[in-house]
Structure 1
Amino acid sequence: MKDSGINFRHLYYFWVVAKEGGITRAATRLGLAIQTVSTQLGLLEQALGKSLFTQQGRRLVLTEAGRTALSYADQIFLLGEQMQDALGQAETTRTRLTVGISDSLPKPTAFRLLEATMHLAPPVRLVCNEGPFDALLTDLALHKLDLVLTDRPVRSGTPLRVFSHLLLESPTIVVGAAPLAQAYAGDFPRSLDRAPFLLPTRNNVLRGKIDEWFDHHNVRPDVVGEFDDNALLGTFGRRGAGLFFASSMAAADMKKQFGATLVGEVPQLREQCYAISNERKIAHPAVEAIMSAGHQGVLDPA
C-alpha cells in the first residue's frame, strides 16, 4: 500500500488545535508544551505542502485547505472513537444503536418505533440524541449516528450520502385539554374559527399544510404559541394553553396519560415518519427491526 506520507499524530494535533480554536488551548488539552504543538503542526503543513491556518489578529483561522483537512480528520478520529466503543462492546452482551431523533417528530411515534428494538437477541443498548434535522444529518454523515428518525425526507441535491426510507403515514387530529376541547368540538371545523391554537413553527413540514387547511375551511385561528419542539408544544397543549394538531397514532396515549380530548379528525393532513440511513441497504439488526415495525403497521393507533 502506498505510504500517505501523513504522520497521524501530527494530524491529531492539528485536529485538536482546530477544535479548541488555538494552539494554547490545544496544548493544555494535550498536556504538551505550546512549542511542541506548534512544531508538530508546522511539520504537518510541510508534509502536505499546504498552509492549514492563517493568522487573523490573535486568532488562528482555517484556510480552505485546513477546512478540507478538518473534514477528513473528523471522520478519521471519529472512526477511531467508534472502534474503541465497538471493542468495548465486544465484551458485553448488548449491541449499541445510536439514533438521532428530530425535535419535530412526535415522541410517541419515536417510542413505538424504538420499542421494536427492546426484545431482540442479542439485546440492544439504545443511545438517543435529539436535535434539529440538519444537525442530525451532519452527524449521520460523519457516522456519529446509526440512524435518524424524522418527519421529512432528505432534500434532493444534498451533497450528503444519506438515504430516506418512508416508514409510515398517519392522519392528524385536533386535540386539547378536556374543557377547551369540549368548547370547540361542535360543528367541526368551522367551530375552530378564533379558537386558541398552538402550532409548529414555519420550518416544520406540517405547518404549511396546516395553514393551507385553515385557509381552505376559512378558519382564522388565534395562534397562542409556535414551537420548534414538538414535545414542548404538546406539554403546553395538555395544560390547556390551546388546541393543537397531533398524529392519530398518539390519540390513545394522550387520552390515557394526559387527558387530551379529541376535537375533530383531519384526514387530509398526514404526518410522515422517515428513517434516514447512511446506506441504501440496512445491515444493523436493530435498524432492520425499526424498519419492519413501520412497514408492518405495528404503529397503528391502539
Structure 2
Amino acid sequence: MVDTSIFSNDMHRLNYKHLQYFYTVADLSSIQAAAERLSITPQTISGQLKLLEEDLGEALFRKAGRGLELTDAGHVALEYCRDIFRLGDELQEVMQQGVSSRPVELRVGIVDALPKSITHQLLAPVIRNSGNMKLICREEQMTTLLGELAVHRLDLVLADSPMPAGMNIRCFNHELGRSPMACFARPNLIDKNQTWPQQLEGAPVLLPTDTSSSMRTNLLSWFQRRGLSVRIAGEFDDSALLKAFGSEGHGFFFAPEFIAEEVCTRYGVEVAGVIPELEQTFYAIVAERRITHSAVRELTEQASDAGLLNKKSSP
C-alpha cells in the first residue's frame, strides 16, 4: 500500500501523466531530453512539472550545471512514483490474469554486505514451497532498509548483524544461524611451510570497508590478539567484488565457512584456515514481534534446514 501522506490535500490535478513527466525528467536529468523521449514539447513538461510541484508543495528539481538534479523532496517523490507505477503495472497484470491469480508478495531488504549465496540459500526454499509467491528484493545499507521496514514497505531485512543499538525503530532480531569465518587465497599465496595463522604474517589481505560490514572490526581485533602484522591490500563495499580480487591473487580474504565449498569452486581459491572463535551471525529483522507473514515465518523456522545453525529470537 502506498502511503500518500506526503501529498497535499488538494489532489485533483495529480495524475499519472504528471508522474510520468516527473519520472522521465528524473531519469534523464533534462527537460529537453525528456521531451524528446516522450515526443512532446519542453514547455508542456515544464508546465506539468510546475503543477505537480504546486500540488506537492515542494520543489522537486534544482539546476545542476546544464541539467537538473533532484532535491531531497524529489528523491522522496521518486521512490513513491516507482511504487505507484509498480502497483499500476500489477493492477493491469492482475486484471488480465484474474483477481484470484494475484501473487503473494515477499518484500525483502538485503544488507549489501551479506553474501549473496547465503541470501539465495535462505530464500530459495521459501519461494520453492510457496507456489504463487512473488519475491521482491532490495539491496541497500542497513539504516536505509530499516527505515523502509519500519513503515512496512519491506516484510523483513536479512543482515549479517542485529539492528544497531540506539535506532529509534521498533524492530526485532531473529537469529537465523551462524558460521565460523574461513580464510581463502589463491594456492600460490599460501605458504605450506607455515602453520595457520602464521601464514598471514606480512601477507596482503582484502577486507570489507568499515561501513559495509561489522566483520572488519572483528578481523582487525583478531589480527591484534594473534600478534599478526598484515598488509591491507584492498577495502571493498561489495563482497562479490572483494572475492573477485581475491580470485586474481591480490590477497587473502574471509567469508563464512558455511559457503567454503562454493567460494573455492567459483573463485579458484583454497581454504588457508578457519577461525572458530570468530563467527558471522545471520539475522532476519522484522517490524513486529509476532511474525504474521507466512513466508517470513517459514524462513525463520526452516533456517536450520538450510545448513545454518541454532535458530533464536531476541528483541
Q: TM-score range by the shorter chain?
A: 0.7 to 0.9
CA gap of 1:27–1:235, structure 2 versus 1, over 3 A, is closer
Question: What does 1:221-300 correspond to in 2, within 5 Å?
Answer: 221-254=230-263, 260-277=269-286, 282-294=291-303, 296=304, 298-300=306-308
Matched, 1:12 2:40: no
Residue 110 of structure 1 corresponds to which residue in structure 2? 119
Which of 86, 89, 93 pairs up with 1:84?
Answer: 89
Quick one: distance in 2 between partners of 1:51 and 1:230?
37
Quick one: distance in 1 between partners of 2:146 and 2:123?
19
- Give TM-score scaled by structure 1 length: 0.73
Which of 80, 92, 97 pairs up with 1:75?
Answer: 80
Residue 5 of structure 2 corresponds to which residue in structure 1? none
- Give TM-score scaled by structure 2 length: 0.70
Quick one: distance in 1 between partners of 2:261 and 2:223?
25
Quick one: distance in 2 between partners of 1:33 and 1:79?
25
Amino acid corresponding to residue 173 of structure 1 in structure 2: A
Matched, 1:151 2:160: yes
CA gap of 1:48–1:123, structure 2 versus 1, over 3 A, is closer
Question: What does 1:20-99 correspond to in 2, within 5 Å?
Answer: 20-44=28-52, 67-68=72-73, 71-72=76-77, 74-75=79-80, 78-85=83-90, 88=93, 91=97, 95-99=104-108
Quick one: distance in 1 between partners of 2:55 and 2:305?
56
Determine helix, strand or coil for the equivalent of 1:234.
Answer: helix
Residue 4 of structure 2 corresponds to which residue in structure 1? none
CA gap of 1:292–1:221, structure 2 versus 1, over 3 A, is same
The one-character-per-residue Cα deviations of 1:170-194 (angstroms, maximum 9, x if unpaired) are 22122334454462662x3344322
Matched, 1:196 2:204: yes
Quick one: distance in 2 between partners of 1:155 and 1:135?
12
TM-superposed deviation, 1:266 = 1.6
Quick one: distance in 2 between partners of 1:278 and 1:29?
41
Determine helix, strand or coil for the equivalent of 2:126.
Answer: coil
The one-character-per-residue Cα deviations of 1:34-65 (angstroms, maximum 9, x if unpaired) are 333333444455556666666788666767xx
CA gap of 1:40–1:273, structure 2 versus 1, over 3 A, is same
User: How many residues matched?
Assistant: 294
CA gap of 1:260–1:12, structure 2 versus 1, over 3 A, is closer
CA gap of 1:89–1:146, structure 2 versus 1, over 3 A, is farther
Quick one: distance in 2 between partners of 1:180 and 1:21?
47
Whether contact under 8 Å (1:109, 1:299) holds in the other structure is: no
TM-superposed deviation, 1:122 = 1.7
Quick one: distance in 2 between partners of 1:238 and 1:99?
29
Determine helix, strand or coil for the equivalent of 1:183.
Answer: coil
Residue 176 of structure 2 corresponds to which residue in structure 1? 167
Residue 212 of structure 1 corresponds to which residue in structure 2? 221
TM-superposed deviation, 1:220 = 0.6
Determine helix, strand or coil for the equivalent of 1:170.
Answer: strand
Structure 1 unaligned regions, length at least 5: none
Whether contact under 8 Å (1:93, 1:122) holds in the other structure is: no
Quick one: distance in 1 between partners of 2:131 and 2:29?
42
Structure 2 unaligned regions, length at least 5: 1-7, 310-315
TM-superposed deviation, 1:83 = 4.6
Quick one: distance in 2 between partners of 1:37 and 1:286?
43
Percent of residue pairs identical: 33
Quick one: distance in 2 between partners of 1:78 and 1:268?
44
Determine helix, strand or coil for the equivalent of 1:119.
Answer: helix
Structure 1 stretch displaced more, 117-126 or 105-114: 117-126
TM-superposed deviation, 1:255 = 5.0
Determine helix, strand or coil for the equivalent of 2:161.
Answer: coil
TM-superposed deviation, 1:207 = 0.7
